[in-house]
Structure 1
Amino acid sequence: MNVIKLFKTGHKYMKTCPTDKSLALSFPEIKIIFYIKAANKYLPPLIIAFFVWQFYMHSSIISTIITAIFAISLPIQGILWLGKRASSPLPLNLLPWYIETQQKLIQLGILAKKSVEKETIDLMHFMQLYKLSAMYLDDDYQNKYHN
């Protein structure tokens, strides 16, 4: 898979994933998304602090640049991991919930009836369906397979 395509998929998956704390135990990407957002918020001032520290402490500029590049690469690595995770197949224990929820949303007229083969269902499809079920179905049905 192309790195740019992987990055775009990871970014889309980051926007698609719900931020339910109940899902954080089953899906590590919820925590990774939280860490990426925190890094995007706190890394720019931290990198500036690295360069100010280098100026006042007379340390090597090379070590400061390497540290800054490493710090910048962490959220990028997280997004690339999310892109890889988004295209991984859905675990078999979630497949019954996915099929049942898809059928229920088709019956309600929320989803168009389309044939999805079991081999093509990945975590991106699952998170999209989970988000739809959170909007249109009651909480008891939604939490049926998560508790």
Structure 2
Amino acid sequence: MALTISTMLKDGQQYMQLWPSQKQLTTLFPENRVVAATKLSIKVMPPLAVLSVAAIVNIQGAELLPQALAVGGFFLTLPMQGLLWLGHRANQLLPPSLSSWYFEIHHNMQQQGCALQSPQAKPKYMELARLLKTAFDELDKAFTKRWF
């Protein structure tokens, strides 16, 4: 199934909000760094784009407006690149080692009485993010410490 860019951006936004930002996950997954960089770029890049366009036009003159707009456009695409990466990652199937880890965590959480959806036969990173978020939100640190 081919994903559209708008679907990937939407999935990336959802995945970014869903991914638990726990320091235990930083060494295992690149998501913490990508989420932090994407959130920062969402805040910083739009004003930086406006500032760069204004500075180029102010210093160099209106004849460089096309180049200034290209620079501003580049700055505006940086947050989208992070969201696209996250959206692509969210829809990837888990590799076999992570898939077995997903099923183990799911089973242990059900034994602890957590209300969970039934596990997916072929889980994706989005399902792993949902499961990890639930684990960190609902279970105590002593229980989650075993997995990390």
**Shorter-chain TM-score tier:** 0.7 to 0.9
Q: Name the Cα RMSD after superposition.
A: 1.9
Looking at structure 1, the residues matched to 17 and 67 of structure 2 have their Cα atoms a distance apart, in angstroms, of 34
1:113 to partner: Cα distance: 6.2
The farther-off stretch of 53-62 and 66-75 is: 53-62
Looking at structure 2, the residues matched to 113 and 74 of structure 1 have their Cα atoms a distance apart, in angstroms, of 35
Percent of pairs identical after alignment? Answer: 27
Q: Which position in structure 2 is the counterpart of 1:50?
A: 52
* Structure 2 residues not aligned, in runs of 5+: none
Looking at structure 2, the residues matched to 66 and 101 of structure 1 have their Cα atoms a distance apart, in angstroms, of 47
Distance 1:129 1:108, change over 3 A: same
Looking at structure 2, the residues matched to 134 and 113 of structure 1 have their Cα atoms a distance apart, in angstroms, of 16
The TM-score with structure 2 as length reference comes to 0.86
1:116 to 116, 120, 136: 120
Distance 1:78 1:112, change over 3 A: closer
Superposition map of 1:22-33 within 5 A: 22-33=24-35
* Structure 1 residues not aligned, in runs of 5+: none
Distance 1:115 1:57, change over 3 A: closer
1:115 to partner: Cα distance: 5.0
Q: Which position in structure 2 is the counterpart of 1:20?
A: 22
